[in-house]
Amino acid sequence: MQSLLRLYFQLPLFIRLITIVFLTMTIFGFLIHIIEPANFPTFFDGLWWAIVTGATVGYGDYVPLSTMGKIVAMGLILSGGGLVTFYMATISATTVKHEKDLTEGKVDFKGSDHLVIIGWNERTRHLINMLEQQNLHERIVLIDRSMDRLQQNMASVQFVHGSATNEEILEKANVGKARMAIITADPSLEEEQSDQAVIHQIVSLKGHHPGLFIIAEVLTEKQKINAERAGANTVIRSNDFMSSLFYQELYRNDPVKPFELLLDLLTERQFHEEKINGNLVGISILNAYEHFLKEHYQIIGIKKGEDLSYDLHPDIILEEGDILVVFSPLRK
């Protein structure tokens, strides 16, 4: 008996409540069937009456007529009605609490093959908006310790509050079953401190999930090698990228705006590598252009061995093992 009670109290509150309600209705339904078999010919009729009465619906299709039957009905109204009301109130309170915990990043993520993004800032907000606009249907877990709740309503994002260097937080975000992680630099820190924090997070993620593909953002050139040594698969130097855009804007001599042009291009297209083999071996780069344009690919460079060149000319002949750098449609 003690083991059954222990097992009962280990069940979730929702299961315990519905069990008590069902048992109570079953007992009263059985009693009314025994007391008034003429008015309640079957046990199911008694159970139906008990549930309808306990829920304060009261259809009136079954009514106890005897004094004992009415006493049973009063007991049901006093006990069963309170139980049902408490049950409904508990469900409502549990739902509200779950929504609150979800907004505040306290709920464990149960999915897999998801994208983990570390750090909430304008870059991550824009990235998530791009993913939603492209209908890529990514399941995203956002880890951040700077905000108390996720202010923006994003259906595809589950927020986890805490530090990505904390093992408990990584478990909550289910990083062990994630497909990829993006670590962004913290704009509130000095550049050196931000890069050190990124490297620390890379080490934590790799320690938790050695096979995880990690894209990391660093702000200083000298920390790029350290980020790679820590386990980052791709390191993005955002400061270098922005400096190049500033340079382009400073010295452009025509109406083309490099920043807007590049932003639109990267929103609609992606870089892709095509290895040369089969029927493509031995043809000219011009014929390759025609071949790939049929698939909406645009050749922008060629890699021969370790040499990458964007200076393309018509007499280039493709060889086995060459790699073409192309712009391809963004994957869906």
Residue by residue, what is the 3-state secondary structure of the chain? CHHHHHHHHHCCHHHHHHHHHHHHHHHHHHHHHHHCCCCCCCHHHHHHHHHHHHCCCCCCCCCCCCHHHHHHHHHHHHHHHHHHHHHHHHHHHHHHHHHHHHHCCCCCCCCCCCEEEECCCHHHHHHHHHHHHCCCCCCEEEEECCCCCCCCCCCCEEEEECCCCCHHHHHHCCHHHCCEEEECCCCCCCHHHHHHHHHHHHHHHHHHCCCCEEEEEECCHHHHHHHHHHCCCEEEEHHHHHHHHHHHHHHCCCCCCHHHHHHHHHHHEEEEEEECCHHHCCCEHHHHHHHHHCCCCEEEEEEECCEEECCCCCCCECCCCCEEEEEEECCC
pLDDT for 313 equals 86
pLDDT given for residue 23 in this prediction: 85
Identify the pLDDT of residue 17: 74
* pLDDT at position 231: 94
State the pLDDT at residue 81: 65
Residue 8: what pLDDT? 57
Q: Give pLDDT tens digits along the chain (332 positions).
A: 555 656 655 566 667 777 877 888 898 899 999 999 988 999 999 889 888 887 777 777 788 888 898 898 888 877 766 666 776 677 767 767 777 888 888 889 998 999 999 999 988 988 888 888 777 788 999 999 988 887 777 778 999 999 999 999 999 999 999 999 999 999 888 999 999 999 999 999 999 999 999 999 999 888 999 999 999 999 998 877 777 777 777 777 776 676 677 667 667 778 888 888 888 888 888 888 888 888 888 888 999 888 888 888 888 888 888 999 888 887 64
Residue 6 has a pLDDT of 60
Domains in the chain, start-ordered, CATH in brackets?
A: 2-103 (1.10.287.70), 115-242 (3.40.50.720), 266-329 (3.30.70.1450)
pLDDT of res. 225: 92
